[in-house]
Amino acid sequence: MRIREAVQGDAEGIARVHVDSWRTTYKGIVSESVLQDLSYEQRAENWRRGIGKNALYVAENERGKIVGFATGGKERTGKYDADGELYAIYLLHEVQGQGIGKKLTESIAQNLKEQGFTSMLVWVLEQNTSKKFYESLGGQPISEAMIDIGGEEFKEIAYYWDNINAIGELS
């Protein structure tokens, strides 16, 4: 498995992971119509515009296929003590549990450190079982908020690291 910074030609691979992981991760949580309406083409266009704007890393398998990604940057709300934020991290279902998510998270944390950030948070749907992943990396729940997805309200939990140098040291 190789972790590297994303480049412009990665948009389609990132989009495929984004859509496919949403469809497996949020099945039974988010309505099926929302999941089926996700579009590889639309996501790829969004990623083409977004590559290079924030930290973005991809995980490739031995054949060079993108199987996961993570992106992050400055904390977006200004409401928390965190100065950095893990905006998104997604892995194809078949590669979860292999340490790839940890490596992607560490890559974002390292990038944030290089930019002078010292802390980080990530928002996770309360019903998402990946909460345990963030807890295993030392993330502490610090806040909750509601988010609308497809006309339904869902609770999100903010997990916080007061020292991004310590991410992963507890796992």
Query: Cα–Cα distances in Å, from 91 out to 98, 104, 107?
Result: 10, 10, 15
Return the pLDDT at 165.
85
Residue with tokens 């965190």: 82
CA separation for the pair 11, 38 (Å, rounded): 15
Q: Determine the straight-line distance between the first and last CA of the chain, rounded to whole angstroms.
A: 19
Return the pLDDT at 43.
96
**Are 149 and 34 a contacting pair, CB within 8 Å?**
yes
- Taking the chain (171 residues) in consecutive chunks of 10 residues, what is each chunk's mean pLDDT? 95 98 95 95 95 95 96 92 95 94 95 94 94 92 95 96 78 41
Return the pLDDT at 54.
94
CB atoms inside a 10 Å sphere around CB 143: 14
Closest CA to 62 of 153, 1, 129, 119: 1
Residue 77 phi, psi (nearest 5)? -95, -30
Residue with tokens 């996700």: 38
